[in-house]
Amino acid sequence: MKASSATKTCVRNFRDGDQIIRCKQLLVVSSTELTNAAKTFSVCSSPVRLFILRLLELERELCVCDLAEVLEISVPGVSQQLRKLKEVGAITSRRVGNTIYHTTVPEFQQRLAQTANLLTEMKTI
């Protein structure tokens, strides 16, 4: 495949139709998996969220105030990160009086490992 520098378009000498079909089929078969993997990678792209996950894994559960103090960021800032983690099923919470304790969801670590392996394990159809 050659890229034309003047037009910035793809110019190729040969088209492998079978390869194009295989690739399209692969995307159809794995689109849900890949979409979920993208969400997982996205939530883990923030160092703050990774710190929160690590702290929750080590301490089992923490409230937003504890996390804010440890991370030296505002309670609203931590809450925003917790919301994103909760949206992808990475953490859960429980209320005790006025305090909400957050903890990791055990299956999330497994999903994270599967997501990381997804890119290397995918085979063409």
Q: Which domain holds residue 44?
A: 15-121
Nearest CA among 92, 91, 88, 83 for reference residue 41: 88
Name the more confident of 58 and 39.
58
Q: What is the CATH number of the domain that holds 21?
A: 1.10.10.10
pLDDT at res. 121: 66
User: How many structural domains are present in the chain?
Assistant: 1
In a domain, 4, yes or no: no
The reply to whether the predicted model has a pTM over 0.75 is: no
pLDDT at res. 99: 94
d(CA 46, CA 12): 39
In a domain, 7, yes or no: no
In a domain, 24, yes or no: yes
